[in-house]
Amino acid sequence: MWTETKQEKCELITTHKNADIHFKDKTKVLKVKSATYLGCNLGIKSTSKEELSKRFSNTMATMKKLDIFWRHSDCDIAVKVYTADAILRAKLLYGLESAQLIPSVAKRMETLQLKVLRQY
């Protein structure tokens, strides 16, 4: 059985080269340049553009997996649209409440939505 302690889950992202953060038992916290937290990539040099590009590609992969459902199910189109909206919207937008969406990203979202609707 795989177990992980709380200390093994902790990661430190810092710009200070001499940062000495440790636990009570004097074990040092692992320093990393980027980490995933609640499904979002955080890092010193991370940009929202990189995060959104990754999310778009993951959403497209999920959309391809749903292709079997769209082509071979006997559901009404309304159910298919509702299902696609629920799954793909969550995949793309989870954890992006604070991301600043520039017009080009909004355009990519519209394009993705139209691509999903054309699947039916």
Three-state DSSP state, 65: helix
Q: Give the tokens for residue 27.
A: 């074990």
Q: Name which residue leads in pLDDT, 36 or 27.
A: 27
Q: Is the pLDDT of residue 2 over 70?
A: no
Write the pLDDT tens digit of every residue in 81-111: 888 888 888 888 887 766 677 788 888 888 8
The number of residues making up the chain comes to: 120
Q: Check whether 14 has a pLDDT greater than 70.
A: yes
User: Which pLDDT score is estimated for 13?
Assistant: 80
pLDDT for position 75: 87
End-to-end CA gap in the chain: 43
Q: Return the closest-CA partner of residue 62 out of 115, 107, 22, 98.
A: 115
* 98 or 14, greater pLDDT: 14
Average pLDDT, the chain: 80
pTM: 0.60
| Phi, psi torsion values for 79, nearest 5 degrees | -70, -40
